[in-house]
C-alpha cells in the first residue's frame, strides 16, 4: 500500500532522511477556518456526528488537500474518542467545549473502566482511516493520532476542560496510586488504538500531550512522560515494509525536550515558546523536529506571514529532520489566503 507513495517527504523528514525541502502539514488543518468544512459540519448536525461518520470524516480530511499542496493528511477525529468509548458519555455544549456525563474520581470508578476494542467501539475511526487511505491513493501519507494518557486523564477526571486541573491534581497528589491506575489503563487503550490505526493504514502517528505543560518537571516525568514512553514502546513501528514514525508533542514542554528525545520517538513537536534553533541544538540529530510558527501569525498581512514562516525555516540548522507546522492548532478565524501564503513559502523553500 505505502510503497507507491507519490510524496513521502513527511516520512523521510521524520526519519531524518534526505529531503529536497521541509514538508508541511498543519495541526487542525481540517477545521472551522475552511468554509467547506463548516458546510460539511452543518450537514453532519454536530461535531461528534461528523467524527462518527466515516464518509464525512474522510471528506473533511481531504478538503485542505484540495485547497493547499500539503505533504500529509491527518485523520479527522478527536482525542476524546477513547474516553467516550470507555463509557464516560461525551457531549459538547455550544461554546463550552467537551463535557463528560460520568467523570471518574475514585479508584473504584477507575477499576470499572473498560479498555475499548478499537475495531468494535471505535470501529468508526478505523473505517475512516481505511476510507481516507483509499481516497488518498498514495498522494501523501496519512497521519493517525491520539491524546496522551495525562491529557485524556485531565478530561476524564475534571469532566470537562480546565484552567487549574483542581480535581486531577487532587487525585494525583492525594491518591497517586489511583492516578497511576487510570494512566496505565488509558496508556493501554491508546497503544491499542494507535496500533489499530496503523493496521488500518495510518503511516505516521502523533501523540498530543496538550496539558503536560501544566505539570512540575518531576510530575511530568512520572505522570505524563512515563506513560508516553510506554506507548512508544508498544507501538507497531514497521508496517507495509516501511517504518512508521511516531511524534510526541507536549504543549508547553520546551524545557523537557531532551527527556522526550530519550523515549525513542522519531520526532518531537514544538510549540511557539521555544526557538527552533535552540531546540535543534539541544536534541542534536537524535529526533526530527516539527513546528513551530505561532498560529496567531496567520492573522497578520501576507508579507508578515511569509517573513515569519521564512524565519522558522531558516532557524532550523540541519539538512534534514524538520517538518514545518504551527506551534499548535490553527485558529477558526484565520483567512485561508494567509494559510496559502504560508504553504507557498514552505513548498518553494530551498536551503
Locate cell 511557539: which residue?
A: 272
Binding residue per annotation — 105?
Answer: no
Binding residue per annotation — 32?
Answer: yes
Binding residue per annotation — 331?
Answer: no
Nearest of 203, 84, 198, 186 to residue 142 by alpha carbon: 203
Binding residue per annotation — 155?
Answer: yes
**Which H or E element spans position 99?**
strand 97-100
Contact (Cβ atoms closer than 8 angstroms) between residue 215 and residue 175: no
Relative to beta strand 242-243, strand 322-323 is unpaired
- Separation CA 282–CA 286 (nearest Å): 10
Binding residue per annotation — 130?
Answer: no
Active-site residue, selected from the candidate residues 12, 33, 99, 155: 155
Active-site residue, selected from the candidate residues 8, 12, 37, 41: 41
Q: Which three cell numbers stand for residue 151?
A: 491529557
C-alpha distances in angstroms, 144 versus 18, 88, 126, 158, 236?
Answer: 23, 23, 10, 26, 13
101 is catalytic: no
Nearest of 84, 43, 37, 91 to residue 65 by alpha carbon: 37
Q: Which three cell numbers stand for residue 331?
A: 485558529
Sorted by sequence, the CB contacts under 8 Å of residue 173 that are 6+ apart come out as none
Binding residue per annotation — 197?
Answer: no
Nearest of 36, 26, 70, 71 to residue 56 by alpha carbon: 36
78 is catalytic: yes
- Separation CA 37–CA 67 (nearest Å): 12
Binding residue per annotation — 28?
Answer: yes
28 is catalytic: yes
Contact (Cβ atoms closer than 8 angstroms) between residue 139 and residue 65: yes
Crossing angle (nearest 10°) for helices 166-174 and 176-200:
110
199 is catalytic: no
Contact (Cβ atoms closer than 8 angstroms) between residue 288 and residue 255: no
Contact (Cβ atoms closer than 8 angstroms) between residue 257 and residue 279: yes
The sign one gets for the Cα dihedral 33, 245, 75, 97 is negative
155 is catalytic: yes
Active-site residue, selected from the candidate residues 8, 71, 78, 127: 78
Active-site residue, selected from the candidate residues 21, 28, 67, 242: 28
Q: Which residue ranges are tagged as binding site?
A: 28-32, 78, 155, 210, 328
Binding residues for substrate: 28-32, 78, 155, 210, 328
Which residues belong to the active site?
A: 28, 32, 41, 78, 155
Amino acid at each position: 500500500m505505502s510503497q507507491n507513495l507519490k510524496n513521502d517527504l513527511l516520512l523521510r523528514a521524520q526519519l531524518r532522511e534526505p529531503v529536497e525541502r521541509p514538508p508541511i502539514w498543519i495541526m487542525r488543518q481540517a477545521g472551522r477556518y475552511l468554509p467547506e468544512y463548516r458546510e460539511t459540519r452543518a450537514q453532519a448536525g454536530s461535531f461528534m456526528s461528523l467524527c462518527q461518520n466515516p464518509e464525512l470524516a474522510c471528506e473533511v480530511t481531504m478538503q485542505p488537500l484540495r485547497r493547499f499542496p500539503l505533504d500529509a493528511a491527518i485523520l479527522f477525529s478527536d482525542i476524546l474518542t477513547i474516553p467516550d468509548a470507555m463509557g464516560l458519555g461525551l457531549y459538547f455544549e455550544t461554546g463550552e467545549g467537551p463535557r463528560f456525563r460520568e467523570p471518574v474520581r475514585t479508584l473504584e470508578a477507575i477499576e470499572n473502566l473498560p479498555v475499548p476494542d478499537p475495531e468494535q467501539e471505535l470501529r468508526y475511526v478505523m473505517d475512516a482511516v481505511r476510507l481516507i487511505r483509499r481516497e488518498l491513493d498514495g498522494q501523501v501519507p496519512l497521519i493517525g493520532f491520539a491524546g496522551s494518557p495525562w491529557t485524556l486523564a485531565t478530561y476524564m477526571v475534571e469532566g470537562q476542560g480546565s484552567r487549574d486541573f483542581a480535581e486531577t491534581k487532587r487525585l494525583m497528589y492525594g491518591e497517586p496510586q489511583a492516578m497511576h491506575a487510570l494512566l496505565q489503563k488509558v496508556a493501554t487503550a491508546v497503544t491499542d488504538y494507535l496500533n489499530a490505526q496503523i493496521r488500518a493504514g495510518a503511516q505516521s502517528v502523533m501523540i498530543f500531550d496538550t496539558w503536560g505543560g501544566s505539570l512540575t518537571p518531576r510530575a511530568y516525568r512520572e505522570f505524563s512522560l512515563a506513560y508516553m514512553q510506554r506507548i512508544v514502546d508498544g507501538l507497531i513501528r514497521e508496517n507495509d515494509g516501511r517504518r512508521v514514525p511516531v511524534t510526541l508533542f507536549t504543549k508547553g514542554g520546551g524545557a523537557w525536550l531532551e527527556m522526550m528525545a530519550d523515549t525513542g520517538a522519531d520526532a518531537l513537536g514544538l510549540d511557539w515558546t521555544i526557538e527552533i534553533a535552540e531546540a535543534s541544538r539541544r536534541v542534536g540529530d537524535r529526533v526530527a523536529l516539527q513546528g513551530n510558527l505561532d498560529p496567531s501569525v496567520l492573522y497578520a498581512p501576507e508579507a508578515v506571514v511569509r517573513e515569519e514562516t521564512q524565519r522558522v525555516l531558516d532557524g532550523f540548522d540541519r539538512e534534514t529532520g524538520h517538518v514545518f507546522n504551527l506551534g499548535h492548532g490553527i485558529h477558526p478565524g484565520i483567512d485561508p489566503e494567509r494559510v496559502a501564503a504560508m504553504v507557498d513559502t514552505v513548498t518553494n523553500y530551498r536551503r
